Amino acid sequence: METVKQPLQPAEVEMVARMAKALGHPTRIEILVFLASRDSCFFGNIHDELPMAKSTVSQHLKELKDAGLIQGEIETPKVRYCIHKENWEIARKLFSNLFDLFDWKEMHC
């Protein structure tokens, strides 16, 4: 007998959508890869490290922070960023659950 996968709850759907939107831009992925490659929080201006305009970086950092994927101070003079580990783990589980919904089905279109 096949195991029926449980659909995502409404709050989980909202969270997945918010995180997916934040992950939907190449610049944001570059920023996340940069932050994930560090051993600790990054203190400084990411636009000094990555080839991006300051205004572009600020906009994308805000989107990532609003989605809960990063944490820290993104307004000068306090500039510190890092991956929000707890929310990153929640995102991993939610996206895994979403993709698992389709693993067991044989789709015929």
Question: Tens of pLDDT along 49-64?
Answer: 888 888 888 899 999 9
Do residues 28 and 60 make contact, with C-beta atoms less than 8 angstroms apart?
yes
Q: Which of the four pLDDT bands, split at 50, 70 and 90, describes residue 1?
A: very low
For 75-107, write each residue's pLDDT tens digit. Answer: 667 678 899 999 999 999 999 988 888 766 676
Asked if 87 contacts 35 with a C-beta cutoff of 8 angstroms, the reply is: no
| Collapsed DSSP state (helix, strand, coil) of residue 81 | strand
Tokens of 51: 């080839």
Question: From edge to edge, which strands make up the β-sheet containing 42-43?
Answer: 42-43, 80-83, 70-73
Cis peptide before 77 (omega within 30 of 0): yes
Chain CA centroid to CA 74, Å: 16
